[in-house]
Chain A
Amino acid sequence: MIARRAFALSLAFLLGGCSGIQSALGRDGRHGEIFGGLFAIFLAVTLFVYLIVIAFLLAGIFRRRGKRQDGLPDEEGESREASLRKGLIGWAAFIALGLSVLTVASFVADRLMAQASGPDPLRIQIVAHQWWWEVRYEDADPSRTFRTANELHLPVGVPVQITLMSNDVIHSFWVPNLAGKQDLIPGRTTQIALHPTREGVYRGQCAEYCGLQHARMALDVTVEPVAAFRTWRTQQLLPAPLPRTPLQQAGLRYVETRECGACHSIVGTRASGQVAPDLTHLASRRTIGAGTYPMSRGHLYAWVADPQSAKPGNRMPHIPLEPDQLHAIVAYLETLR
């Protein structure tokens, strides 16, 4: 049993190299590297302590106990009170020493993490809502700021400073492959630094229980080369492309005249609502509904036709649409690249 668990834990540790898209063991950012090192130290020390305890326990259970000369069990036994007392003192000292090592290691790791972000970081602001992430890329030039939702694109090797706020309840920002978590607390502003070091596609998820759809509040993170990031950023700054086919044009009309535009905004159109995710480049995202569905035509149909089915309780109401309206809207949304 013990061996199995020890094995399981060390297995988890070894898995670190090939972890998934949402793993605390992923060493895909500076913080992850420090975390991995610190976790290894803790694992080694605690496993060592554990083995000592188990060895002592087994010794206590299986120790051969003395018999008297006449073969009867020794009633008094040989008391080892004094040696046990020494053992106790040694044990306490050993624990104190071990804890000191771990405390110092933890403190050092914490300082290293605080310094892991560099100068002149990419600045992003995230506002959490029940149950999605509003992302705003900041820039000294206001015309170069833009909004997106439920996705982050980050240039590899560039420090990132994210300002975190909440619009309603407490949420927690957590992209485990890149760094630990940071709560978003209404009425407060918090910060988190990231420093991705490896390209890849990751997933973050709200880590503080925030109500009904806490489970479906994910964030797609793409860490890409600086050039690709620049391209993406330039793309995001553009207004939505104009619809070309009559069907797409009809879709835009419905989006502007039906309920959609009251909550969602699409830059370059009359849809300018601010309470729901920005849709300007919706079709370029990986998922719909904060990670509820992968992005695809079928899922767009499913989401627009009945947003309450896959993510019951989310704030997007069911809007009864005629089939031709639905076709048109989805056709238009697909152009939002």
Chain B
Amino acid sequence: MTAKISPRDHDRDGEKLQGEALHFRLEKTWSREPGLWGWLSTTDHKEIGRRYIVTAMIFLALGGLVSLLMRLQLASPESGLISAQRYNELFTMHGTTMMFLFAVPVMEAIAIYILPLMLGTRNIAFPRLNAFSYWAYLSGGILLWAAFLLNIGPDAGWFSYVPLAGPEFSPGKRTDIWAQMVTFTEIAALAVSVEIVATILKLRAPGMTLARMPIFAWAMLVVSLMTIFSMPSVTLASGFLLSDRLVGTHFYNQYEYGDALLWQHLFWFFGHPEVYIIFLPAAGFVSEIVQTFSRRPTFGYTAIVLAIVAIGLLAFGLWVHHMFATGLPRVGYSFYTAASMTVAIPSGIQIFCWIATMWDGRPRFQVPLLYVVGFVITFVLGGLTGVMLASVPLDLQLHDTYFVVAHFHYVLVGGSVFPLLGAVTYWFPKFTGRMMSERLGQATFWLLFGGFQLAFAPMHLSGLMGMPRRVYTYPEGMGWDLTNLLSTIGAFIVALAVLMFVVNALLSMKRGQAAGANPWDAPGLEWATGSPPPVYNFPHIPVVTSRTPLWDNRAKLPVMTGLRVDEREQLLTTVIDARPDLREPSPIPTIWPFVASLALAALFVSSMFTPWAVVIGTPPLAAALVAWFWPKSPDVTPEPVIE
């Protein structure tokens, strides 16, 4: 094959190409086709990130609605509002939706949108995989919720313990749907994790050494690696479950040398890291927000980063603390007690650093920072009840009671959802070009904070007074009536606050005050481009010389030039020092990831009905993947070696 040699060099951004002219050239190169076709085939990380965020928020709303129904049922003892079967479906849907369809994806979603901007690059690594991951995630979500609406929703809990979830005790399709939904979200999460790791390690702006990277990027790097290492465990678990259910294997059948506890080990080996996969991105949000609103670089950058890495490692040594009541050897338990408690050290270090940043800075208590304050108050309390639960004798009483429900809502809502709402408020101007209303935002925060405490603080008492989890009703006279009623009232206040947040977002999108490039006077690179950013992110790729580039280069941000403007091209930099390394083409939009995801969905869904679907469904998927990866025509001109 002989390469065509072009008589001229390609146009690049640089001295000669600036301003409007550069904008038009780059926009032509990076924009997608208009219309539905273009919408389905886009590979723009911002567009996919937005979709991901909106979808995850819809699942948050659905999961929340389900919890309101549960709270209505539990508002009074012996309530006949919801049947046992429906209630079991509701709590299964709540947990599954929140963990698999909201909490993990929403963190990835924000990273997909904001990370390439933070790191100063034009697109995420593997953008087609990114598109594919979104469609796979959406398919999983639709599968679960369509099944629920068709009255074949799962009812074995979000943890699907065997043998209850096995073929004997959960006949029908309910648990198959749960397990296939997990498969979809696994694929989506693994794909995103790979993209994020590659983006962070290879696409950073020149000069952004690892030690200058925003803490959010560190958090996402650790989280993505955790996902890559923990997801295979649940893949295996749900694969075994499906094969037990669909083709009659005996992985979990104790009567055929299988083991029911195998499921728990595999599930929690993923399930425990997962809670840190949900929390650590929030730690990244908090670091970014605290820094910007305290007008001071985050105190203890190195300490926070090391704490994040430490949590990421420790997370893999804790899973047995979900299994203290299963009767494993007691001496082994002591190890997991100690390991679980150890997590409090890096967490405590982070908390100290964030408060210290505020203390030493000049904080502006606008909505995002309010969420951080709410986060500290709530998350620390959840962390401390977590220390209690790490103790075997205490856990044996408190395990599977409402005390645990209170604990993990303090940690997950306080630790992740509060920072998430702060982060959405913080980056909303970047997403939409407009500010969210500060007044409505403050009212929302206080309502949410108060409602949350009212809903979940009494659950500590319900649990201590002996109320187990996952019961559709409880008898009168147990002393649980008042605490449950308070929880229900609180839940509705939380719902009202979330509704206000949504209203605020929708109104502000239309009528909010226009935001400039950097409305908060923040230091990160994502604020160095327009709000919303142009499709190509940066006219010139910025060059970084410190951790807070926009504060340290107020006059003019240094940039590099030389990337092609008529082809999608990105700069690869070295892993540690972020020295310019290579220029790499970025894939153009294509419909094939979408087609591949359709083929995948057809395969997965039909495989619940016949194993032959795996055979019949593979060729279409393979065909779509071949088309997706078809090599580009060799029109690439040999490039002059630069300098």
Contacts and interface: CB of A to CB of B under 8 A. Distances in A.
Contact of A23 (B359, B393, B395, B466): B466
Interface centre among A31, A34, A188 (most CB of B within 10 A): A188
Nearest to A174: B468
B448 interface: no
B12 interface: no
Interface stretch (B17-25, B121-129, B428-436, B473-481): B473-481
B152 interface: no
A208 B325 contact: yes
B383 to A, nearest CB: 9
A73 B255 CA distance: 75
B350 to A, nearest CB: 10
A190 B255 contact: no
Contact of A24 (B161, B358, B362, B401): B401
Contacts of B463: 24
A2 B254 contact: no
A283 B321 CA distance: 41
12 contacts: A1-B450, A4-B453, A5-B457, A49-B384, A56-B352, A85-B300, A96-B345, A182-B325, A183-B325, A185-B326, A187-B260, A208-B161
A117 interface: no
Contact of A170 (B161, B299, B361, B398): B161
Interface string B69-113: 000000000000001110010000000000000000000000000
Contacts of B384: 46-47, 49-50
Contacts of B393: 31, 34-35, 38, 106, 109-110, 113, 180
A206 interface: yes
A209 interface: yes
Nearest to B393: A109
B626 interface: no
A183 B264 CA distance: 13
Interface in B374-390: 376-377, 380-381, 384-385, 387-388, 390
Given A183-B325, A186-B163, A211-B164, A53 B355 contact: yes
Contacts of A251: none
Given A88-B353, A176-B466, A187 B254 contact: yes
A54 to B, nearest CB: 7
Contacts of B380: 50, 53-54
Contacts of B392: 106, 110
Given A23-B466, A60-B359, A77-B362, A114 B330 contact: yes
A21 B325 CA distance: 22
Nearest to B346: A92
Interface stretch (B32-40, B136-144, B333-341): B333-341
Given A23-B466, A174-B468, A212 B88 contact: yes
B260 A20 contact: no
Interface string B271-287: 00000000000000000
A232 interface: no
Nearest to A112: B393
Contact of B387 (A99, A185, A313): A99
B151 interface: no
Interface in B437-485: 449-450, 453, 457-458, 460-461, 463-466, 468-475, 478-479
B356 interface: yes
A43 B334 CA distance: 20
Interface in A52-87: 53-54, 56-57, 59-61, 63, 65, 73, 77, 79-81, 84-85, 87
A172 to B, nearest CB: 6
Q: Which 8 A-B pairs have the closest CB atoms?
A: A180-B396, A187-B254, A215-B471, A60-B359, A106-B391, A22-B466, A190-B327, A46-B384
A185 B261 contact: yes
B397 A180 contact: yes
Nearest to A202: B466
Contact of A1 (B377, B465, B473): B377
Contacts of A19: 465
A77 B381 CA distance: 32
Interface in B603-638: none
Given A63-B359, A91-B352, A207-B401, 8 more contacts: A23-B466, A39-B394, A49-B384, A53-B355, A95-B344, A99-B342, A188-B327, A216-B473
Contacts of A9: 460
Counting chain A residues whose Cβ lies within 8 A of the other chain, the interface size class is 35 or more
Nearest to B348: A95
A21 B494 CA distance: 32
B362 A60 contact: no
Interface in B233-274: 254-255, 259-261
A102 interface: yes
A28 B334 CA distance: 26
Contact of A84 (B356, B363, B373): B356
Nearest to B358: A60
A233 interface: no
Nearest to A190: B327
Interface in A203-239: 203, 205-216, 218
A1 B466 CA distance: 24
B610 to A, nearest CB: 27
B289 to A, nearest CB: 14
A201 interface: no
Given A61-B365, A92-B345, A215 B353 contact: no
Contacts, number: 258
B198 interface: no
A91 B296 CA distance: 21
Interface string B563-593: 0000000000000000000000000000000
Given A57-B355, A103-B337, A8 B348 contact: no
Given A46-B388, A107-B334, A188 B254 contact: yes
Contacts of A313: 84-85
A182 B333 CA distance: 14
Contact of A87 (B260, B261, B352): B352
A305 B346 CA distance: 60
A169 B392 CA distance: 24
B452 to A, nearest CB: 10
A218 B463 CA distance: 16
A91 B349 contact: yes
A57 B357 CA distance: 10
A313 B384 CA distance: 40
B167 interface: no
Contacts of A285: none
Contacts of A23: 464-466, 479
Nearest to B338: A103
B255 to A, nearest CB: 7
B360 interface: yes
A215 B461 contact: no
Interface centre among B300, B352, B388, B469 (most CB of A within 10 A): B352
A129 B479 CA distance: 27
B508 to A, nearest CB: 26
B259 A110 contact: no
B368 interface: no
A227 to B, nearest CB: 29
A5 B384 CA distance: 13
Contacts of B259: 187
A181 B392 CA distance: 11
Given A8-B458, A9-B460, A53-B380, A87 B356 contact: yes
Interface centre among A15, A105, A212 (most CB of B within 10 A): A212
Contacts of B47: none
B477 to A, nearest CB: 8
A185 B380 CA distance: 35
A19 B418 CA distance: 35
Nearest to B264: A170
B466 A214 contact: no
